[in-house]
Structure 1
């Protein structure tokens, strides 16, 4: 029997509102700003995301054999090329999308967190 269920994945960042808006555009939903450095993503399908202010935030490095990426999000899409254009227009950056034969590509969100677009 499980001890707990996954409630929310919380990402540290320098600007929770800006990062919340990015993910609201990517995943749907709307942001809920508590005004105290915490923003939740409401009404988006899947596991809830939230964003909190982290003074001195240093983004993860990917790929870096001597540093940890800490985590990454896998986001399922139906059209990799179309999704790539959209996330780049929203402020994502390419980390590894060179191999077009793969069913996934790696990006960083505007705060530097890695995420993958994965074809379903």
Structure 2
């Protein structure tokens, strides 16, 4: 028997409204503004939330000295089309060497790593 259910994945960031808007463009869903906390409820019912974090320092990736903590894997039907879309929305490529893999690594506008994965 489980002790708990996952309520939301929460990303600390300097501007929760801007980061919620980025992920709403990437993933769809409904944004609910609660001041320094913003929820993005996705079509499947999952919640990705964004919390204001004064003094936020983005993860460094890749870095042998600093763990990235976690990242999001986002399944897409077309890697090239999805890449063009996330770059236009403000993502930054973190790896560009091997374009033959089934995934590509980016940072969102606040610096959190995420992968686009061929789905």
TM-score class, shorter: over 0.9
Which 4+ residue blocks in structure 1 deviate beyond 6 angstroms?
none
Looking at structure 2, the residues matched to 85 and 6 of structure 1 have their Cα atoms a distance apart, in angstroms, of 32
Structure 1, gaps ≥5 residues long: none
Stretch of structure 1 that moved more, 37-46 or 17-26: 37-46
Change (3 A) 1:19 1:44: farther
TM-score, with length taken from structure 2: 0.95
Tell me by how many angstroms 1:30 deviates: 2.4
Q: Does residue 1:106 correspond to 2:67, yes or no?
A: no
For the residue of structure 2 that corresponds to 1:96, the secondary structure is: coil
- Give the match for residue 30 of structure 2: 30
Residue 119 (1) aligns with residue 90 (2): no
Give the alignment of 1:4-83 within 5 angstroms. Answer: 4-35=4-35, 37-45=36-44, 47-83=46-82
Cα offsets for 1:4-48 (capped at 9, x unmatched)? 12110000000000000000000001211112x000002443631
TM-score relative to the length of structure 1: 0.94
Q: Does structure 2 conserve the Cα–Cα contact (< 8 Å) formed by 1:27 and 1:45?
A: no
C-alpha separation between the residues in 2 aligned to 1:108 and 1:87?
A: 10
Q: Distance between the aligned counterparts of 2:50 and 2:111, measured in 1? A: 13
- 1:96 deviates by 1.0
